[in-house]
Structure 1
């Protein structure tokens, strides 16, 4: 590809090129799948964390929070804001945002990497890709994600395992329908 072609490529062209090739070649398809899933989901997690904080900052600056105009369903989401973002200085706020964005990116990437690696590994080990693989991978991923929470209890871990297994199984069973 010439230098001129590289300069005129759009974002959409770049995204399409990811589907054609692999991000990594770590020598084994399992490792490649885990790494690619981790990187893709970590990027999504970072975007989600930053956009959520930008939304709440915009709501606050527009005066919705002080006037009580915040919808009731959004008040629960307020506890997911970045702690310490309103620091004494912009430096502290930026450090808090980077720390939280990194943590959420790691959580999203970990969940995607574990799930993708387990589904691939189970498919290779059992010789079939079915709802059982999805249920096991979803449950283990749910447990792994629950362990990244600051105050994870036994009940939270079990609940995340059940939720992960249910969502993953449902997604697998509905794959051919829609």
Structure 2
């Protein structure tokens, strides 16, 4: 049976920064916080820049509000990533093995923790968020296996 495949190669620069806190758990958690937090902050910065260009003007108040949104979004997603990476690493150490089950459990626990702290006692929403986070983490792990 004939098969087709798409293959490409990309020569883009890669920047990899390693954080060494002297403890693998802390190093991975801080590294995740910084990397994902930077991505989230960059996304908001680009959006805010687009809005400023669209309006054609910028005031000190608008700039300060944009800066607050950049920091808030970066710290939120950095925290989510740090918690996820820390939980997944802890599960990996307890189970003694790597795999998609660690990602699933890490995602579910992270979703549960983040949702429980932000949804005031809405248990149904907390458990839905935990299930969703576990599913997303598992899917991301499976996609990593493919690449």
Shorter-chain TM-score: which interval?
0.7 to 0.9
Point out where structure 2 has 5 or more consecutive residues left out of the alignment: 1-12
TM-score by length of 2: 0.75
The match for 1:123 among 86, 92, 100 is: 92
Point out where structure 1 has 5 or more consecutive residues left out of the alignment: 1-11, 63-88
Query: Contact between 2:119 and 2:125, CA under 8 Å: does it hold in 1?
Result: no
Please tell me whether residue 50 in structure 1 is matched to residue 50 in structure 2. no
Aligned length: 136
The match for 1:91 among 56, 60, 74 is: 60
Q: Give the root-mean-square deviation of aligned CA atoms.
A: 2.9
TM-score by length of 1: 0.64
After TM superposition, give the deviation of residue 132 of structure 1 in Å. 2.0
After TM superposition, give the deviation of residue 47 of structure 1 in Å. 0.6
Q: Which has the larger radius of gyration?
A: 1
- Classify 1:93/1:57 alpha carbon distance in 2 versus 1 (closer, same or farther; 3 Å): closer
Deviation digits for residues 116-168 of structure 1 (CA, Å, limit 9, x no counterpart): 11111111111111222111110122234435658784443222211110011
Q: Give the structure 1 partner of residue 33 of structure 2.
A: 38
